[in-house]
Structure 1
């Protein structure tokens, strides 16, 4: 019989985990020993637990499956709470495996190191930011508990929590089964699909809007096929940026309301039927909408529930819904002819000039770079770096666009590289880099060589645009490029478009170490997209 540790690792692998991210500590040391010796899943250790959570989150955003963060009890687990909260908000199935005291330690009558209010406070905290939890304190029930929790993570695309007492690691257990999926009720699925097809058939100008769950459940190709079959254009939300990268024939751009391309905004807001697939109804997606949804002509599919007009169909997985829609539209007549706006035009052709740089110059330079060398998978932090990403060609992207937690970008890029084997492009501001940028020091151990573009305006510029009078937005110049060699990479500071173009070209050619391009930006200068977003948000608040 396998031990609980090996059964858990094999169960994670069987449910779609491909790597682990973690930091060892005394309560999880026995489990880390098995991780290392068994070789069931590779492990990437980082320097601080928030980065572990961000890396696991980003890794699973690039493929359907599970991200896994392994941390110790108390001091380690509480450090990863913010990253897991972000994963919950943005519907990313991260499995937190946390070490814990054994039964004898719990019964000692002593307060235990790393303990907060009580021994079980950690479990109580994670219950608030995960969709399912298990404490593996009984060898007889542990395999079924693991299977239940992992199925919940896969089915709901949300984080889960598994607590592993350190005295249970070597307990003999049965293998972890893969439980059958909980499918939709056939009649409800049929009725729902037929109602949607009828709504779309009556519409003269329907639009499909896609967001994060479309990738979480691996349905991008099916959505593209459905859109082609029905002749319906597709747009992404702000959160869904990077989806349908391989389907430019149906994708028209990203909906940002009054901050985005006016043609895309009109396409969505003038639609007489909206099919919202996996869409999070959050302020960063829809705060700048100039019109409210007419729910009589809107479909929303998210979290195993589908709303069609004012009808709600519970327990209906999005992947089954899309398959049912395809089945009901196969062999349809040619789609209705329709004049559509061209795909968003992104800036290109940066002149190699000697002048101050702007964030939009960075987008232009990266579009030119992609034209020469091909697109790269991207990870972005929150801030103007993310709004600048909206001006770059629609490329696979992991970013905290809704939860908006700083520090995501660099560890997310490490997670993307580990999960995909590809070289990522990381966009990060100087404020966020101060938090987690030092994780780049781990790249050398794992042979990772991301290209990192740091937006350095010595400022929390995203906060300054809302409150420009406050001096606390000013930051010091930390000279990140100068620190790069000590971390095992190469750094270069640029101040003009000419220098930026040359530095990016050199970074592409340089392999084997990370390349950090520190772009010096004047305070108060933002991307065009952030400028429109702030203007629109202020106008919306004034109207309230």
Structure 2
């Protein structure tokens, strides 16, 4: 095999099922090998941020590696934001960048796409990936590839591989997977016993789950654990959509502090034994607490460590902890009322001529899914994401912590390319202006997402915090009119009746993307966003 074949087979052996990319001169030879080898299918997009978001969406949805391949400099550096978001939210993305060859590096000229030094790009990606390598030695390459891919899987974070273009055809051996790191079984046993003892002593135990249980493929096991312990389960804001297909999990709802359901807030903040599995302690998850959560009473399993009160068990993989808890767990209480999600979601949208508000979008989507079946959702940041919290629990991909705009459309592209499942996209008009044009690539691959654009001619999420700001105003671009030219169908809805009819038409039509442009009044917000903003303001006021 040549080095490119070794790399492609290693990616496939480690779980990757596709490559997203944009060709460029430093990576052309590698793209040729991707195409000729047939090891992994290649999906090309229009802009490097979309490439990164598509790979992110595919990796999040399946909890496995996905690949983004770009050229050196102008390509890879254009994707930094998407990779940074994947690092922040623990997504196992493999970034492959072409690079100058050895002779080019020695010729004394500055090379096109070069910023400062030839290794400046590596220095930048070292900050936003958990492991890196340059494949400049075919003899060492198999070992480097194995190490880097093992790091991506172990830490569930992006890694960076730089491939000089003169190395693509170099003879290279096959990559043998590096073994998973070992953990101390005695430490694991002690940790499991301490966690269970704390739960057994507690009067109000609660289990909170977040993104790591999806990243490490643990949703089914966590559902079994919750059912076995008979304790209520909540997701945090970033973990919304988890356990959607696990009916045995006694799911109470999503914790949002003062912005969420009172019964969920009371359960979490009143718990004397809150077991947090894979929960990121971020402001989006805990920034609007009604009462401050006492972390000394919490048990946090994250990033391979388990912290209980004032001490930490290091190097305890989340899967090993969950397996240990499952093996020794006993019911803590027999409360049948804990089974089933309690949150009531809006539905039965009246088909009338009233103007649309965000809650109406949630009602219309709930009606559509109850009639036609649930769909996975890719949401951008903004009020569209807060509206998603009023939609019945289904798989949800969203940059809830890193909060980058432009995620939704390309993430849905990656989701459907990787899974074949038709996604629903929720995106604001500001974010759609950034990456919505990637929909034009759907026709080449037969992808047909349903895209709901929240169009209030405004960056409304920002206006919520700065109500009098004129700089948040946007023009009306009439997105629905553009859909036909990009290979899809467009609908513009200004009333609730038009919204319901547009979604029904969209779900019936297959083979082309469907864009539903929902016209919303400027200044209108979902109830959840309003409560969230008020909670942030209250917190900021208390610190003033």
The answer to whether the aligner puts 1:533 opposite 2:532 as a matched pair is: yes
Where do 4+ consecutive residues of structure 1 move more than 3 Å?
A: 332-342
Superposition pairs for residues 157-236 of structure 1, below 5 Å?
157-236=156-235
* Corresponding residue of 1:298: 298
1:327-346: per-residue Cα shift (whole Å, max 9, x none)?
112xx357344754961111
Q: Equivalents in 2 of 1:154, 1:166: separation in Å?
A: 26
The alpha-carbon deviation at position 528 of structure 1 amounts to: 1.0
CA 1:96/1:118 → structure 2, altered by over 3 Å: closer, same or farther?
same
Change (3 A) 1:333 1:433: closer
Matches within 5 A, 1:4-153: 4-153=3-152
Give the corresponding residue for 1:268. 268
Change beyond 3 A, Cα 1:495–1:97: same
Match of 1:383 in 2: 382
Alignment of 1:371-450 (within 5 A): 371-450=370-449
Say what the alpha-carbon RMSD is for the aligned residues. Answer: 1.1
Distance 2:62 2:326 in 1: 22
Please give the alpha-carbon distance, in whole angstroms, between the structure 1 residues aligned to 2:9 and 2:494.
50
Task: Return the alpha-carbon distance in structure 2 between the equivalents of residues 18 and 381 of structure 1.
Answer: 24
Cα offsets for 1:477-524 (capped at 9, x unmatched): 101000000100000100000000000000011011000000000100
Q: Tell me if structure 2 keeps the 8 A contact 1:183–1:316.
A: no
Cα distance in 2, alignment partners of residues 426 and 334 from structure 1: 40
Cα distance in 2 for residues equivalent to 1:484 and 1:69:
26
Structure 2 CA distance for aligned equivalents of residues 334 and 404 of structure 1:
37
Conserved in 2, the CA contact under 8 Å of 1:199 and 1:297?
Answer: no
Contact 2:19 2:41 in 1 (8 A): yes
Question: Does the 8 Å CA contact 2:245/2:394 hold for their aligned counterparts?
Answer: no
For 1:283, the equivalent position in structure 2 comes to 283
Question: What are structure 1's unaligned runs of at least 5 residues?
Answer: none
Task: Give the deviation of 1:419 after TM superposition.
Answer: 1.2
The CA deviation string for residues 151-177 of structure 1, in whole angstroms up to 9 with x for no partner, is: 000000011100000000011111111
Normalised TM-score (structure 2): 0.98
**Shift in CA distance, 93/333, structure 1 to aligned 2, threshold 3 Å:** closer
8 A contact 1:305–1:315 mirrored in 2: yes
- 1:333-344 alignment runs, 5 A limit: 335-337=333-335, 340=338, 343-344=342-343
Q: Which runs of 5+ in 2 are unaligned?
A: none
For 2:254 and 2:51, the matched residues in 1 are separated by 30
| 8 Å contact kept, 2:200–2:332 | no
Q: In 2, Cα distance between the equivalents of 1:533 and 1:173?
A: 54
Q: Helix, strand or coil for the counterpart of 1:379?
A: strand
Per-residue displacement from partner, 1:50-103 (whole Å, max 9, x unpaired)? 000000001111112102100000000000000000001101011100000000
After superposition, the Cα gap between the structure-2 partners of 1:339 and 1:448, relative to the gap in structure 1 and judged at 3 Å, is closer
Please say if residues 251 and 338 of structure 2, whose CA atoms lie closer than 8 Å, have aligned partners that are also in contact.
no
Aligned residues: 541
Cα distance in 2, alignment partners of residues 416 and 19 from structure 1: 11
When residues 148 and 268 of structure 1 are mapped into structure 2, their CA distance, relative to the original with a 3 A threshold, is same
Residue in structure 1 matched with residue 313 of structure 2 by the alignment: 313
Asked if the contact 2:250/2:338 (under 8 Å) is kept, the reply is no
Secondary structure of 1:116's match? coil
Deviation readout 1:328-385 (Å, 9 max, x if unpaired): 12xx357344754961111011000101100110000000111101100110000110
Q: Does the CA-based 8 Å contact 1:347-1:364 persist in structure 2?
A: yes
* CA distance in 2 between partners of 1:340 and 1:394 (Å): 17
